[in-house]
Every structure is written in structure tokens, then in C-alpha cells.
């Protein structure tokens, strides 16, 4: 609980813990005279039960009690409510115990017999120490909030610069303008159908947007070649998952699932894919999802020299390759997302050009 909230919740309230009713009555009288609302507890366990339901800034506790003694009670209180001030009450002969309690976190102690002035002085002193502790904690809370805010801003800037990298790639590749955005859209729709958790969804979103980033390292003459590729050219293009993975690995150390998408989106369910020839469930789920999304967009995207495939034909092709190229559950997830219209129906008749060409 935040300190400011704790301070707002609690009243001028005092918890008196002693197994002797007479001693509790004396303390109650003294504290009530100083304007405190008093709650009594006859044991440590009873005191903890009170604290579970009632915010209390200060606890006055006898040390010698059957069962849980004052020292144990203080440790239990500090473990759960570190900002509750505890004042331990001991007999004169137990000063060493009092000192040990102070070392262990009690904010002050009282020795019996005590007078009203002494009780008042000790309580005020303990409350003042507690106020300083609360201020210190509130300062730390504010600092943590500011650090977290800065970290979020830094993360957003970092993701924006990665997105710029992906955009730079699409300008370079004449046929893929908007490809990564659409792949991301389809991949996220599949992932939601498969019930992926939020942290995984976030990594999939980033990974699918950046999945082809390694094409930055592919020669433009090969990337933009309109005709069929030679074996050597195909091999060169298919280096892009590893190039992308090497490029991003130093930046995405804390996002291994996003990195897995980049490296493994050309793996195949039957183990005949690239670059690691992973098979079936060995392929990270997020990469299997992206493979389906990627292929669907490639099939339904027009080229300057041809129309894209119709959605129905592309889905039939995905279904035909489920169990060989694609994970069947990812294909099924994609079909469910498509039926639900989870994303805009692709306009396969549009022949895609680069933004530069359009301009
Ligand atoms: Fe790719």
C-alpha cells in the first residue's frame, strides 16, 4: 500500500497489547486522555488479527506475554506492516531486552512502572520517527514512479526506432510495402484465437513487424528481381532470418519470443524449413503463427506483374499445407479469425507498388 494512502486511511488510533487487563486499562486511560482511539488485544495473535482489518499507526506492546512475546509480535508486524510504530514495554530489569528490541526495529520502549508524561513523550517520539520513515518511503515511491515512467518512455522510443528500421526495409523492397503491418495484423488475430497471454502477444507484435528485417542485408538486385530466382539468389534471400536475428539479438535480449519470430518464421512443421530445420513443436509457437500470417499475405498480395490470389484460394492453400509446411492449429486459428472478420479483408486485386513509385 502506498504511504500516502496508509496515512489517509489511519485515524489517531493506538493498539494496546498486554495479557494483563489492568495494565491495558492504565494505558488506555493515558492514551485516551491524549486523544487516541484505543483498541485492546490480550495476545500477539489477537493484535495481528486487529491489524489485518484496522490501520493503526502505533502499537504499545508488553514484552512478556504467554505464547507470542513482544519481540516476536514486533517482527511479525514489521514483516507485514513496516510503517507501524511499535513501542515495547518491559520491566526495569529487562533493559537488555528493550535494547535488543530497539536494535530489531522497535521505535521506542517503556519500562514499568511509568508515568503519564513518560508515556506521552515516548509515544510522541515514536510517532515522529514513524513520520520520518513514512516521508522517506513516500519519496522512494515517487522516485520509483519516475524511474518506471522514464523506462516506459525509453522503451517506446526504442520500439519506434525499430519500427523505422522495418519501414526502411519496405521502401527498399519494391513488392512488400505494408507487408509487415499486415503480417502483424494477421499474426495477432491468430494468437488471440489460440489464447496467447498478453506478454507473449506484445512480443509477437514486435517480432512479426520486424520478421523480415534481415532483408536489409539482401542485395537489392536480388530482392527486387521480377523473374525467377537462381538457387544461389534464393539461398541469399533465405539468409534474412539469421541476418535479422543477428541484427536484433543485442537489442532484444529481454524479448526472446520476438527474436524467435525473426529467426524461425521460415521453419516448416515437417522439419524442412530454414535456418535450423526445427520440426513441429520445436518451432516456437510465435514463429509458427507468423509463418501462416506471412504466407497468407504473400499469396494475397498482388505484384506489378500479377494479381494476388483470392482469399478463398489462399485459405485452401494454407489448409493443403497444414501438417507439412504449417502448424495445423495455427491454420485453424487463422480460419476462425478470418470467419470472425478479426482484420480487414485483404484486397487481393490491388497490385502493390512501393510508396516511392506511387509518388
Ligand atoms: Fe521472411
* pLDDT bucket at 200, cuts 50 / 70 / 90: very high
Which one is catalytic: 129, 153, 172, 215? Answer: 215
| pLDDT given at position 338 | 92
Strand-pairing partners, residue 60, are 16, 87
Domain parsing of the chain, residue ranges:
3-144, 173-358
| pLDDT given at position 177 | 72
The more confidently predicted of residues 103 and 200 is 200
Query: Ligand 1 centroid vs 359 CA: distance in angstroms?
Result: 26
| pLDDT given at position 41 | 94
Query: Ligand 1 centroid vs 304 CA: distance in angstroms?
Result: 20
Neighbours of ion ligand 1 (CB under 5 A): 212
Give the whole-number percent of the chain exceeding pLDDT 90. 44
pLDDT greater than 90 at residue 114:
no
Query: Ligand 1 centroid vs 159 CA: distance in angstroms?
Result: 20
CATH of domain 3-144: 3.40.50.2300
pLDDT greater than 60 at residue 118:
yes
CATH top-level class of 173-358:
mainly alpha
Query: Ligand 1 centroid vs 208 CA: distance in angstroms?
Result: 10
pLDDT greater than 50 at residue 196:
yes
Query: Ligand 1 centroid vs 266 CA: distance in angstroms?
Result: 6
pLDDT greater than 80 at residue 111:
no
Q: Is 225 tagged catalytic?
A: no
Give residue-wise pLDDT tens across range 328-357. Answer: 999 999 999 999 888 776 655 554 443 333
pLDDT greater than 90 at residue 18:
yes
Give residue-wise pLDDT tens across range 284-330. Answer: 999 999 999 999 999 988 766 667 788 899 999 999 999 999 999 99
Mean pLDDT score across all residues of the chain? 85
| pLDDT given at position 305 | 62
pLDDT greater than 60 at residue 359:
no
Is the pTM higher than 0.75? The answer reads no
| pLDDT given at position 173 | 65
Mean pLDDT of 121-135: 85
Query: Ligand 1 centroid vs 158 CA: distance in angstroms?
Result: 22
Amino acid at each position: 500500500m502506498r504511504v500516502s494512502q496508509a496515512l489517509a486511511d489511519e485515524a489517531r488510533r493506538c493498539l494496546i497489547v498486554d495479557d494483563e487487563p489492568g495494565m491495558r486499562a492504565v494505558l488506555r486511560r493515558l492514551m485516551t486522555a491524549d486523544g487516541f482511539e484505543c483498541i485492546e488485544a490480550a495476545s500477539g495473535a489477537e493484535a495481528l488479527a486487529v491489524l489485518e482489518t484496522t490501520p493503526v499507526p502505533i502499537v504499545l506492546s508488553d514484552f512478556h506475554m504467554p505464547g507470542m512475546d513482544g519481540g516476536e509480535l514486533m517482527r511479525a508486524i514489521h514483516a507485514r506492516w513496516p510503517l507501524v510504530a511499535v513501542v515495547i514495554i518491559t520491566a526495569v530489569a529487562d533493559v537488555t531486552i528493550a535494547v535488543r528490541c530497539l536494535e530489531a526495529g522497535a521505535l521506542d520502549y517503556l519500562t514499568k512502572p511509568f508515568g503519564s508524561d513518560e508515556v506521552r513523550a515516548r509515544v510522541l517520539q515514536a510517532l515522529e520517527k514513524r513520520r520520518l520513515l513514512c516521508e522517506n518511503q513516500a519519496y522512494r515511491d515517487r522516485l520509483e514512479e519516475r524511474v518506471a515512467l522514464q523506462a516506459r518512455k525509453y522503451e517506446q522510443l526504442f520500439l519506434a526506432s525499430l519500427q523505422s528500421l522495418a519501414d526502411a526495409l519496405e521502401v527498399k523492397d519494391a513488392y512488400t510495402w505494408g507487408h509487415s503491418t499486415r503480417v502483424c495484423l494477421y499474426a495477432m488475430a491468430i494468437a488471440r484465437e489460440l489464447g496467447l497471454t498478453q506478454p507473449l502477444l506484445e512480443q509477437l507484435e514486435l517480432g512479426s513487424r520486424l520478421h523480415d528485417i534481415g532483408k536489409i542485408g539482401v542485395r537489392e538486385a536480388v530482392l527486387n528481381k521480377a523473374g525467377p530466382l537462381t538457387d544461389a539468389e534464393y539461398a541469399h534471400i533465405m539468409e534474412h532470418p539469421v541476418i535479422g536475428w543477428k541484427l536484433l539479438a543485442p537489442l532484444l535480449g529481454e524479448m526472446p519470443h520476438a527474436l524467435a519470430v525473426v529467426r524461425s518464421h521460415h521453419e516448416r512443421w515437417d522439419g524442412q524449413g530454414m535456418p535450423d530445420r526445427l520440426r513441429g513443436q520445436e518451432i516456437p509457437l510465435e514463429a509458427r503463427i507468423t509463418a501462416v500470417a506471412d504466407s497468407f499475405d504473400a499469396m494475397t498480395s498482388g505484384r506489378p506483374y500479377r494479381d494476388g490470389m483470392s482469399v478463398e484460394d489462399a485459405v485452401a492453400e494454407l489448409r493443403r499445407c497444414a501438417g507439412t509446411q504449417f502448424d495445423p492449429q495455427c491454420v485453424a486459428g487463422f480460419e476462425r479469425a478470418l470467419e470472425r472478420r478479426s482484420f480487414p479483408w485483404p484486397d487481393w486485386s490491388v497490385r502493390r507498388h512501393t510508396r516511392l513509385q506511387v509518388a
